[in-house]
Structure 1
Amino acid sequence: MTRATAVVTALAAALALTACSSKAKSDNDSDNGGGDAKGVKTGDGISGRTITLGVLTDMTGVYATLGKSVTQAQQLYVKQVNAAGGICGYRLKLQVRDHGYDPQKAVAAYTELEPDVLGYAQFIGSPFVAAVKDRVDGQDKGLVLPQAWSANLLGSPYVRVIGSTYDIETINAIDFLMKEKGLKKGDKLGHVYFEGDYGENALKGSRHMAEKSGLSVVEQKIKPTDNDMTAQVAALKKAGADAVVISAGPRQAASLVGVAAATKLDVPIIGNNSAFAPQLLGTQAGPALTKNYYVASPTLPIGAATPAAKKLVADYREAHPKDALDNGVVAGWTAASVFGEALKKACAAKDLTREGVDKALLTIDAYDAGFGARQNFTDPKAPSSKESAILKPDKSATGGMTVAREPGASSAAEAYTPGG
C-alpha cells in the first residue's frame, strides 16, 4: 500500500464514523423536501431566499496562492450575481473553510459544511476529494466541482472535473515538447511528481506517451513538503534527461527550473496547470522560468484577449487592487459560473434539490466561460474537455503568462481513455 493510498483509506474510515451524525438532521430538517412560491423544489443548502455553497480551499498550505485567487474570484462571481438579482430569486452565499492542504482538516471541513450547503464550488486537493467521494456518491449527493484534475475522480455524477485530467494534460504537454521543442523518439523524459493522486495520475500520461512515442521516463517522486529540487535535478542530469515534466506546486517548479539553470541542465521544462504562480517571476528563478519553462492549462490565461478575460481582469482589479492576477482567478471564476449555470437550469426544471442540480449539470454540453475551451458535462466518466493550452511565463503580460499554443487536444489525447 502506498502512502497516498494509506492516507485515503484512513480518511475514508474517519468519514464512516462521522457520516451518520452529519446526516442525522436529514429526516427532520425543515429545508429538506420543501419548495418555494414558484413551485421550485428545494432542499439542503437552501434557507429562506439564500443558496449556500461550500468552499474547501487552501489559504495557508502548498497551494495558498492558488487558493486565495480561486476563492476571491468565486466571491466576486457571487457578489455580481447577487447584485443582478441572484439566481431563481435566491441570493448566493459562500461558506469558506481553509484546510491548509492538510488531509485531516480537509475531511473535517467537509463534514462540518455538508449539512448546510447545496454543493461545493471549490474543493482543492485530489487526495482529499477522493477521500470523500464514496460518501458524496452514496448519501450526500451534493455537486462537487474540485480544483483538482485527477482521473481517479471521474465516474461520479456528483464530483465533476472541469477541464482535462492530469494524465490527458500531460499527454498534451509532451505532444507540445515533441512537436515544438525538439523532444524525439529515443530521448529521455524526466518527470518530477508529487506522490498521491495528482502526481501519479500525471505520470500515467508520461508513461503512455513514452510507450506510444518511443521515449523513456526518468521518474522522480517527491512530497508536497519537499521544496528543494537539487537532488532531483542532479538525478535528471545524470540520467541525461532531454526534457522534464513537473507535476507539483509552484515552489517545487521554481526550485526545479532555478537549479536546472544554475547547473546548466538546459532543457525545456513543462508543468501541469497548478505548477506556476506569477509571483515566482519576481524571484531569483524568474529569468530561468521565462527562458525554459512552460505550463499546460485547461484554458487561456487571465491575460487573454477575449472579452470575458478583459472584463474579469478589470472587475478583479477593482475588487482586489493589491493582489496579483493569476490563472487561479480563471479557474475559480469558471467553476463558480459552471455551478451557476447548473443552478439556472435546475431552476428552469423546478428542482433546486441536490439531485436536481446534479441532473441539470448533466444537460450542459458546450459551456464556455470565455477562456477558449468548451466544457461538456454530459458524461460523468469523462472529463469535461480534453483540451489544453500551453502557456509561457512572461513578466510583462497580465497575469504573468502568454499563449505558446492555443487550446486544443492532441491526437494522442483524443485517442486516450482517462485513467488508462
Structure 2
Amino acid sequence: MNRSGPHRRTRRATAALAAALVLTGAAGCSAKAGGGGEDKPAEGGVTTGTGVTATAIRLGALTDMTGVYASLGKSVTQAQQLWIKQANASGGICGRRLELTVRDHGYDPQKALAGYTELEPQVLGFAQFIGSPFVAAVKDRVEGQDKGLVVPQAWSASLLGSASIRTIGATYDIETVNAVGYLLDQKRIASGDRIGHVYFEGDYGENALAGAKHAAGKAGLTIVEQKIKPTDNDMSAQVAALKQAGVKAVVVSAGPKQAASLVGVAAAGGWNVPVVGNNSAFAPQLLATPAGAALQKDYYVAASSLPIGDPAPGPAALAAAYKAEYPDAGLDNGVVAGYTAAAVYGEALKKACADKDLTRAGVGKALLGLKSYDGGFGITHDFSDPKAPSTRQSVIMKPDAQVPGGLKVVKEAAVAPAAQDYTPAG
C-alpha cells in the first residue's frame, strides 16, 4: 500500500505537532466557577465575555466516563487535558491560561443536560460533548441564547447548520456511505445483495441508517434493519435474524460492546460475513475479550483520522506524549479525537485573539476562517461552512492487537463515489 502521498501533504503540520507535543508544564485543569460576564473591552483592546477573564480562558467538557462510552470519554478527556497543559506551557493563548472543567454524565440524558446547565454560565464554550442525542437536546439553547462554541464528540448530520455547534469529521451518514463503499471496492458485496444494519435508536444510529440507505440505493443493495437500544448488549437475536435474512455483510452503528457481541456471536455460530462499524463502534479493550480473534478477522472501522497507532509523525508524536503523561492509560482513537477537538478550539481562540474579539460570537466567527486545517492526522478540514461537514473523507481501519491502539489502516482517507454529492440528512 502506497502511503507517501497523504503523509507528504501533512508533513508541515505534523512537524509542528511533533514539536508541540514535547512541551511540558503545569496542568491547566480547573473546576473554578464564574465567567466573564457581559461582553466588555479588556486590556490590549481585546473584547471579552463569559468564560474569559484577564488571566484565564475557561472551557467545559461534558463526557462519559462511566457509561456506554466510558473508555472513549476517558481518552478524549485526558487528551484534552494534555493539550491544555501543552498550551499553557507555551504561554497560553492571548496572554491567558486555559482551564478545562469536566463533568461526567455517564451517558445519562438528565445528567448531560444538568451538566450543560451548570457549566454554560461559567465557560466560554465546550471542547467536548459526548452523545449526539444530548447535543441535539441543547441545540436550540446553544443557537438561540447561549452562543458558546460547542465541539462535540458526535457526528450526527442533525448538528449541521449551526454556527455554534461544529463537528470535526464526516457525519455518520457520510461515514457509513464510505464504509459500504469500502466493501464494494473490495468486492465483498455486489448489486443485488442484502446487507444488515444494526443501529442504535436515536440520532446516531438513524443518521447512519440514512447513509446506509443512500449507499444501498446507489449500489442496488437491500438493507435489512435491526434497531437496538444502548442498553442492549447481547446481539444474539440480531445475528440470528440477519443470518436468516441471508445478508452478505453487516454495518454496525452502535457502541463497542454491541459490535464485539455481534462479531463474536456470528463467529461462534460459524457465520462468516464482513462487518463494518462507525468510528464509535470500537475500543481496543475488546481485543482482550473472547471476541478479539473474530474482530481481527473481518471487522472494519471508518473514521475521519489516522489511528493513534499509525506510524505517521502526528499520531506517533501524540502517542508518545500521551503515554508519557498517562503511563498507565491505554491508547485508542479517543486520544486523537479529543486532542484534535482541543487543538481546533485553540486555533479558533488564536484567530479570535488576533481579531481582538474573545467573546463567544468572536470565537464562532474565527472558526469560520479555518478553511484548510491540517492537524497532522491524515485529513484536512474546512470549517468555513456550518452547513457542511468539515470533510467527506474516511480512513478505513482493521483491528490488530499488535498495533498500539488496536487499529491499522487498510485504506487511506478517501470519499466513496456515492458520498461525493450526497447531501447529509440534517
| Partner of residue 414, structure 2 | 408
Query: In the TM superposition, what is the alpha-carbon distance from 1:48 to its structure 2 partner?
Result: 3.3
Question: SS of 2:300's equivalent?
Answer: strand
Aligned-partner SS, 2:280: coil
Distance in 2 separating the partners of 1:248 and 1:219: 13
- Corresponding position: 1:48 with 2:54: yes
Residues of 2 paired with 1:30 and 1:340: CA distance? Answer: 18
Query: 2:116 aligns to what?
Result: 110
CA contact (8 A) 1:171 1:209 kept: yes
Which of residues 316, 322, 335 in structure 2 aligns to 1:316?
Answer: 322
Q: What's the CA shift for 1:224?
A: 0.1
Which of these residues, 152, 155, 159, is aligned with residue 146 of structure 1? Answer: 152
Equivalents in 2 of 1:235, 1:33: separation in Å? 57
SS state at 2:409 partner: strand
* CA drift at 1:375: 0.7
Gaps of 5+ in 1: 1-25
Tell me the equivalent position of 2:401: 395
Partner of 2:17: none
| Equivalent residue for 1:298, pick from 299, 304, 308 | 304
1:18-417, aligned counterparts within 5 Å?
31-417=37-423
CA deviation string 1:211-252 (max 9, x = no partner): 111100010000000000000000000000100000000000
Measure, in 1, the Cα distance between the counterparts of 2:425 and 2:56. Answer: 38
Code of the residue aligned with 1:161 in structure 2: it is: T
| Counterpart-to-counterpart distance in 1, 2:63 and 2:207 | 21
1:47 Cα deviation (Å)? 2.4
Q: Find the counterpart in structure 2 of residue 23 from structure 1.
A: none
- 2:120 is paired with a residue whose SS is helix
1:31 Cα offset (Å): 3.3
SS in 2 for 1:115: coil
Residue-pair matches, total: 394
Amino acid at match of 1:203: L
Instruction: Tell me, in whole angstroms, the C-alpha distance in 2 between the residues paired with 1:226 and 1:36.
Output: 52
Please report how far the alpha carbon of residue 35 of structure 1 lies from its aligned counterpart in structure 2 after TM superposition. 2.9
- The answer (yes or no) to whether the contact 1:31–1:47 under 8 Å persists in 2 is no
Who is 1:20 aligned against?
none
Amino acid at match of 1:66: L
Amino acid across the alignment from 1:373: I
Amino acid paired to 1:239: A
- Which consecutive residues of structure 2, in runs of 5 or more, have no partner in the other structure? 1-33
* Preserved CA contact (<8 Å) 2:167 2:389: yes
The sequence identity of aligned pairs, in percent, is 66
In the alignment, residue 235 of structure 1 is paired with which amino acid? A
Q: Distance in 2 between matches of 1:290 and 1:305?
A: 19
**Match of 1:38, SS?**
helix
CA contact (8 A) 2:36 2:52 kept: no
SS of 1:344's equivalent in the other structure is: helix
* Alpha-carbon distance in 2 for matches of 1:33, 1:141: 12
Q: Distance in 2 between matches of 1:48 and 1:351?
A: 13
Does the 8 A contact of 2:42 with 2:54 survive in 1?
Answer: no
Using structure 2 for the length normalisation, give the TM-score.
0.91
Contact 1:181/1:268 (<8 A) preserved: no
SS at match of 1:355: helix
**How big is the shift at 1:181?**
4.4
- Asked if the contact 2:36–2:48 (Cα under 8 Å) also holds between the matched residues in 1, the reply is no
The separation in 2 between residues aligned to 1:296 and 1:259, in whole angstroms, is 22
Cα distance between partner residues in 1 of 2:62 and 2:236:
33
Structure 1 residue 36 displacement after superposition = 2.6
Question: Judging changes above 3 Å, is the alpha-carbon distance between structure 1 residues 30 and 338 closer, same or farther for their aligned structure 2 residues?
Answer: closer
3-state DSSP of counterpart to 1:116: coil
- Distance change >3 Å, CA 30–CA 374, structure 1 → 2: closer
| CA-to-aligned-CA distance 1:34-65 (integer Å, 9 cap, x gap) | 23321111000012311000100000000000
Q: CA deviation at 1:399?
A: 0.8
Amino acid at match of 1:89: G
* Cα RMSD for the two superposed structures: 1.3
